[in-house]
Amino acid sequence: MNTASLGKPRQPDLLESVVTAEQWLRSSLATLSSIDSSAPSAPCPLDARGLGRLQSLRDDLRAALATGHADEPSAAVAAPSIETTAAVSLDAGGARLHARGKGVELLRSYVMIQLAAATYADTMRRLKVCANPRCRGAFYDRSKNCSRLWHDVTTCGNTQNVRAYRARLKERGLSSAR
């Protein structure tokens, strides 16, 4: 999800072109398959349609996670529906989901299966998007009570808290003490 730079300093969007997306995909799949044997391991050939599907997945995931901020207007909007195909197998160990598809569709299927697993493991609520509207970086909330709002409290959190403080002072007709 953090393939597009939303904060400062601006970095290039890793899914901006087929070439940069293929480089990111190759590197990410190599890393992923080294820690999860069920992950797609072969680099998928990418075309303009596949690039669009990757960008759509990223944007829809970010929008879905952002709906978790109850104090934002977007919280009232339903999370986007992300559809994919998966196979289900049943054995003595129980039911298992398997990613299906070719290329980008296989990756989309894998990602959605991992999100379903996170939901059942009650860790999905820890996947968040930074509450700073200028950042919106995705992060995993490791706090004990799952209450983090900012991906980094020293940058985004401090900035937003100072803005809120100054807005309160302005509302009261006071100037900020600097």
Segment 26-33 shows an average pLDDT of 89
Please check whether residue 6 lies inside any domain of the structure. no
β-pair type (138-140, 94-99):
unpaired
Residue 8 counted as domain residue: no
Residue 57 makes CB contacts below 8 A (sequence gap 6+) with 82, 108, 111
Instruction: Say if 9 falls within a structural domain.
Output: no
Report pLDDT digits (tens) over 43-58: 678 999 999 999 999 9
Runs of H (alpha helix) within the chain: 18-35, 48-66, 104-120, 158-172
Q: Is the pTM of this model over 0.85?
A: no
- Calculate what percentage of the chain has a pLDDT beyond 70: 88
Residue 155 neighbours by CB under 8 Å, 6+ apart: 7, 135
pLDDT class of 7 with cuts at 50, 70, 90:
low
Please give the structure tokens belonging to residue 148.
Answer: 């983090």
Q: How confident is the model over 19-48, as a mean pLDDT? A: 87
What residues make up the domain containing 60? Answer: 18-172
80 neighbors 72 (Cβ within 8 angstroms): no
Give the C-alpha separation, 131 to 60, whole Å. 17
104-120 pLDDT tens trace:
999 999 999 999 999 99
Tally of domains in the chain: 1
CATH, residue 59: 1.10.3300
pLDDT average, residue stretch 157-169 = 83
Please give the pLDDT value at position 71. Answer: 47
Residue type, 87: A
Share of the chain above pLDDT 90, in %: 39
In a domain, 47, yes or no: yes
Question: Is residue 52 in a domain?
Answer: yes
158-174: average pLDDT: 83
pLDDT at 127 exceeding the cut of 50: yes
Residue 11 falls within a domain, yes or no?
Answer: no
| Mean pLDDT of the region 143-160 | 84
Residue 152 lies in a domain: yes
Query: If you count them, how many residues does the chain have?
Result: 178
Position 4 in a domain: no
pLDDT digits (tens, 9 = 90+) for 55-89: 999 999 988 888 765 444 444 456 678 888 899 99
Of 17-26, 67-76, 116-125, the range with the lowest mean pLDDT is: 67-76
Angle between helix 18-35 and 48-66 (nearest 10): 60
Four-point Cα dihedral 127, 129, 131, 133, nearest 10: 180
Longest CA–CA separation in the chain, Å = 69
pLDDT the model gives residue 74: 46
Taking the C-alpha atoms of residue 28 and residue 87, their distance in angstroms, rounded to an integer, is 23
